[in-house]
Amino acid sequence: MNREPVIELTGIRKTYLLGTVAVEVLRGIDLTVNRGDFLAIMGPSGSGKSTLMNLIGLLDRPDEGSYLLEGHEVGTQDDDRRSYYRNHLIGFIFQNFNLLPRATALRNVMLPLLYRPMPDEERRDAATRALESVGLGRKLRSLPTQLSGGERQRVAIARALVGSPTVILADEPTGNLDQGTGGEIMGLLTDIVHRGETVIMVTHDPTIAEQADRITRVIDGSIVDE
C-alpha cells in the first residue's frame, strides 16, 4: 500500500475571542496522516479535538501554520477553492447522521454530487453503488424515519464515500448507537480502511479508539501522546 502523506499539519494554531478574552485552542499542532491510515483522535471536552477536526475538514481556518491536503496548501486558500477541496477530497460522517428528513436514502447520498458537473443519472448510479456497498441496496427509497439508527449511519457513510474522497472524517460515529450497532459500524469503517481508504475519527470512547490503527491524544490544544 502506498503510504505517502495525504494530510500534513505543521505548527497549527487557533485562537478564539470569548468576549475580550483570547483563548488559544490549538497550540502548534504537528500531525501527519498517511494514505490508508485509520487514526483516532481522543481528548477530554475542551481539549481542542473538535476544533482540530473542523480545521482538517476545512470548516474553519488556522490562524498560523501550514495545512497540506494532497500536497495542496489549503489553509490559506479562498472560500471557493476550499469548498472545492472539501467537496472533492473530504467525506463527512456525523454523530447525529445529518440526513435530510424528507429525502430518501438515495437522495441523501446524492447530495455531495449536486455540486459537481455531472448528469443526474450518473449521480443516481453512484449513490446506488455507495448504498449497496454498505448493505442498503434495498433501502434506496426509504426515508430516515423508516430506518434504524444503524441504517441511518450507514446512509451517512455511503454519503461520505460517494464522491471518492481522499479522507473520511468521522465525528463520534457510534455516539448515538447501542453497543451492538456501534460494533457493526466500526466493522464497516475497518473494512473501508482495508480497501485503502483513509479515516480520521474523533471519539471519547477508548474501546472504540482501540479499533483504529493509531491513537492521537489532544490535551489543552496540544498533541501529548500517539
**What would the pLDDT profile of 41-73 be if each residue is shown by its tens digit?**
999 988 999 999 999 999 999 999 999 999 999
In this predicted structure, the answer to whether residue 225 has a pLDDT above a threshold of 90 is no
Domain 35-62+77-225 is of which CATH architecture? 3-Layer(aba) Sandwich (3.40)
Domain ranges of the chain: 35-62+77-225
Q: How many angstroms separate the CA atoms of 150 and 101, rounded?
A: 16
The per-residue pLDDT for 3 is 77
Q: How many angstroms separate the CA atoms of 86 and 154, rounded?
A: 21
Going by their DSSP bridges, the two strands 167-171 and 64-69 should be labelled as unpaired
In this predicted structure, the answer to whether residue 80 has a pLDDT above a threshold of 90 is yes
Going by their DSSP bridges, the two strands 38-42 and 72-73 should be labelled as unpaired
Mean pLDDT, the chain, integer: 94
Q: How many angstroms separate the CA atoms of 34 and 167, rounded?
A: 10
Nearest CA among 122, 160, 162, 158 for reference residue 139: 158
Q: How many angstroms separate the CA atoms of 168 and 158, rounded?
A: 11
The per-residue pLDDT for 18 is 87
pTM: 0.93
